[in-house]
Amino acid sequence: MSEKNRRELVSWRIGKLPDTDQLNEWVNAQSNVQNSITSLVRHMIEQFGYRDVTQHDIQKSLFQKPIADELRSILSGLKNAPISVAEVGEAPTANNESEPDTDIQTEGETINLKPQKEANDDIYGMIDKTNL
């Protein structure tokens, strides 16, 4: 880094930004604002390098990451949930044959697994509508 680009002080004016109240609340929650902002900048450098964080691909990544992390957390929780399988009777099929229905019981939730005839038949068949 050349000497003329080396900064000693960077100011941040938040008084005229549209979300001033939120920014002030965040700043007030920090024990040391300089350390907090430095930590955020180091994290951004580690994630994206020395790039402008307002670039489209970085903004897209920043806004999608929390959603992806939440989905991973939910899926991880389902993998770790205790599962018991119980026969609950027979369900008629298109050929008037009988196939057993299987329920998977997790903590406070029952998921019914029915064999699908075609994958394209009902794309929402595995969604538990009680959680919507």
Q: Which residue would you say has higher pLDDT here, 67 or 2?
A: 67
Where does the pLDDT of residue 62 fall: very low under 50, low under 70, confident under 90, or very high at 90 and above? confident
Taking the C-alpha atoms of residue 94 and residue 98, their distance in angstroms, rounded to an integer, is 9
Q: Which residue would you say has higher pLDDT here, 71 or 110?
A: 71
Does residue 18 register a pLDDT over 90? Answer: yes
What is the pLDDT at residue 26? 94
Identify whether the C-beta of residue 51 lies closer than 8 Å to the C-beta of residue 62. no
CA-based end-to-end distance of the chain: 53
Residues in CB range of 15: below 8 A, 6 or more apart = none
Q: Which residue would you say has higher pLDDT here, 12 or 126?
A: 12
Does residue 31 register a pLDDT over 90? Answer: yes
Average pLDDT over residues 98-107: 57
Taking the C-alpha atoms of residue 71 and residue 38, their distance in angstroms, rounded to an integer, is 29
Where does the pLDDT of residue 118 fall: very low under 50, low under 70, confident under 90, or very high at 90 and above? low
Across the chain, what does the average pLDDT equal? 76
Place of tokens 């549209």: 18
Q: Which residue would you say has higher pLDDT here, 53 or 119?
A: 53
What is the pLDDT at residue 130? 75
What is the pLDDT at residue 87? 43
Residues in CB range of 53: below 8 A, 6 or more apart = 44, 59, 62
Where does the pLDDT of residue 30 fall: very low under 50, low under 70, confident under 90, or very high at 90 and above? very high
DSSP codes of every residue in 14-47:
-TTSTTHHHHHHHHHH-S-HHHHHHHHHHHHHHH
